[in-house]
Chains A and B, each alone.
Chain A
Amino acid sequence: MSEASSIIEIEAVSKAYGYMPVLKKLSLTVQRGQFVALLGPNGSGKSTLLKMISGLVKATAGTITVGGWSMPQEAQAVRPQIGMVSHKALLYDNLTARENLLFFAKLYNVHQSAPIDELLEKVGLRKRADSLVGTFSRGMQQRLSIARALLHNPHVLLFDEPYTGLDQDAGAVLDNLLIDAHQAGHTIMMATHQLERAARLADRIVIISRGEVGYDHTRRLSSAEIGTLYTETTGAASAR
């Protein structure tokens, strides 16, 4: 393990799909407890980067370590440390909320200790615990998705455009869950197009443009400042 305070180390990572390069020798180090907002236009490589950290996608070149373990060689050691929330729910429609959580708890071997009811309470779904996930709204599915990601108490939480398809109220609920998770000490990386939320929630802004880190700063910025930086870095208009 290198620095004691760093939890994710990405070193000169490249990724190409066929002949199409997505990430080009990207390097990034994330400290424990940090909330990193990954910004960038569509196709800039944000989701690919999160998928590589989680082990869902393999890098073409470069190294990724999480908690000192290399991906993908030591993926079995890395996987328990990561919880991921995607814009898709990663849940089963024909199971209830409780059954979904119990199933994933078994996969992580925490079914005897996982605080399923507590998590359902936390995400505001205690009363709907025995309802089928297929009957849930998009916002409810996303909240349950967060409960699934928190089930095994991972060190790192990866959020891939979690606000996609959420209305304002559901977005506000998600904001609170993210704040709680950050305050609880989880390291968070969130790919998003929502600059205002990034400004409000994250303590570090990373703008990815054309597969490279175009901007990386830990200073708290206003959404207007981020918007200006975003446009300068990516050449694209920001959607605040």
Chain B
Amino acid sequence: MTASFFSVVIAIIQKDLQAELRSRELVATMILFSLLSVLVFSFALELDRVAEEQAVSGVLWVTIVFASLLGLNRSMAMESDNASIDALLLAPIHRGAIFAGKLVSNFVFTVAVGLLLMPLMSLLYNLDLLAWWLLLVVVLGTLGICVTGTLLATMSLQSRSPAALLAIVQLPVVLPILLAAVIASNGIIGGTPNSDWIDWVQILAVIDVIYLSLCFLTFAYVIEE
């Protein structure tokens, strides 16, 4: 009897978390990059208070996107280092379970960085970023980024320089997510009425559902020869 879809997903998540807790390579790199990024932007925008307020959601999302690229590269490198991905493919498991497992792991690491950024940026930029709606936007935006990133990072594994390729293909694909997330975040941070930005949160959720369906359905074709 083959392993069930969910037991494989859980096994992959456990494996990734176990490896990360031990090595701390992935999260440490992402957090360090994020800290440097928000600090650099903080100094760059220090003299112009208005520009700082307007740019803060952009800084948040640029940092999350680039931190996610670092995380996705490291996460998939773990599968390619000893050709471990072949061992996953040799097993009698649903390919979608590999996608779901890797997606959840990548999402957990990236959303943790996003959640860390919110209080940190509140301090550095002297703005209130600790809002439930912003938390929801961060979760939805990060989910979308990780969905496409997991698929594209798997595709780029077969290239000679997967890190560069992932950045090139991922950034255009996440533009719709970034657009919706930045506009919604701007509205929330700026304290404008819900009606001004709530549509963008809904659009973000719809984009997530579309990307999730497409990536889940195409993953098996991408991962196999």
Contact = CB atoms under 8 A, between A and B. Distances in A.
Interface of A: 54-58, 76-77, 79-80, 82, 84, 86, 88-95, 99, 103-104, 106-109, 132, 141, 148
Nearest to A58: B225
A93 B82 contact: yes
B51 interface: no
B11 A103 contact: yes
Given A90-B83, A91-B84, A109-B7, A84 B15 contact: no
Contacts of B83: 86, 88-90
Contact of A79 (B1, B14, B90): B90
Given A90-B82, A94-B78, A106 B89 contact: no
Nearest to A88: B83
**Looking at A54, A55, A106, which has the most chain B CB atoms within 10 Å of its CB?**
A106
A134 to B, nearest CB: 9
A132 B91 CA distance: 22
Which 5 pairs of residues, A with B, have the shortest CB-CB distance?
A: A94-B19, A79-B92, A109-B3, A90-B87, A107-B91
Given A92-B19, A95-B18, A106-B8, A55 B2 contact: no
B22 interface: yes
A96 B224 CA distance: 28
B88 to A, nearest CB: 7
B23 interface: yes
A80 B2 contact: yes
A106 B3 contact: yes
Given A90-B82, A109-B2, A109-B3, A148 B19 contact: no
Interface residues on B, range: 20 to 34
Contacts of A84: 86, 90
Nearest to B21: A94
Contact of B8 (A56, A93, A95, A107): A107
Contacts of B3: 106-109
Contacts of A132: 22
A55 B78 CA distance: 22
A94 B87 contact: no
Interface string B74-114: 00001001111011111111000000000000000000000
Contacts of B88: 107
Nearest to B98: A107
A106 B11 contact: yes
A94 B82 CA distance: 11
Nearest to B1: A109
Given A107-B3, A109-B2, A92 B82 contact: yes
Contact of B92 (A57, A76, A95, A99): A76
Contact of A93 (B2, B81, B87, B93): B81
A95 B15 contact: yes
A62 B3 CA distance: 30
Contacts of A54: 90
Contact of B78 (A56, A86, A92): A92
Contacts of B92: 76-77, 79-80, 107-108
Contacts of B82: 88-93, 141
14 contacts: A58-B225, A79-B90, A88-B82, A91-B87, A92-B19, A92-B82, A92-B84, A95-B22, A103-B15, A107-B88, A107-B92, A107-B93, A108-B91, A109-B4
Contacts of B78: 92, 94
A94 B74 CA distance: 13
**Looking at B2, B14, B20, which has the most chain A CB atoms within 10 Å of its CB?**
B2
A55 B88 CA distance: 12
B11 A107 contact: yes
Contacts of A82: 90
A82 B91 CA distance: 9
A103 B84 CA distance: 12
Nearest to A106: B11
A86 B84 CA distance: 11
B11 to A, nearest CB: 4
Contacts of B87: 90-91, 104, 148
Interface in B1-50: 1-4, 7-8, 11, 14-15, 18-20, 22-23
Given A58-B225, A107-B8, A108-B3, A92 B86 contact: no
B99 to A, nearest CB: 14
